[in-house]
């Protein structure tokens, strides 16, 4: 969930939160956030698969603004996720 400059909340689903937030931040995301930059990530959650993520997104979008703010307030402080490790090819033994 992103908080936009005007205080509104935007909810979406993605499999790469950092990349998606950066995309929105560059003005390349949804038209809604493009008109309300800058945006800040205020809440996220991990679910099992894409279908579950889309169902959860729809459920969150049905919540009232007050309920969404309670969800944000109840979540633990966001920590930066660990950096991704690049896959390096195996070294050949000679």
* Degrees, nearest 5: CA angle 56-46-73: 80
Place of tokens 């090819």: 89
Task: Give the range among 3-12, 19-28, 36-45, 83-92 with minimum mean pLDDT.
Answer: 83-92
Residue 40 main-chain phi, psi, to 5 deg: -130, 135
Set out the domains of the chain in order of their start, with CATH numbers: 2-74 (3.40.1440.10)
Whole-structure pTM value: 0.77
Residue labelled with tokens 């956030």: 33
Instruction: Please indicate whether residue 90 or residue 16 has the higher confidence score (pLDDT).
Output: 16
């Amino acid at each position: 969930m992103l908080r936009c400059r005007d205080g509104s909340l935007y909810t979406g689903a993605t499999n790469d939160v950092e990349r998606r937030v950066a995309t929105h931040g560059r003005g390349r995301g949804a038209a809604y956030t493009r008109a309300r930059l800058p945006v800040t990530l205020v809440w996220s959650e991990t679910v099992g698969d894409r279908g579950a993520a889309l169902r959860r997104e729809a459920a969150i979008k049905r919540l009232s603004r007050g309920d969404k703010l309670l969800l944000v307030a109840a979540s633990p402080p966001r920590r930066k996720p660990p950096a991704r490790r690049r896959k390096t090819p195996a070294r050949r033994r000679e």
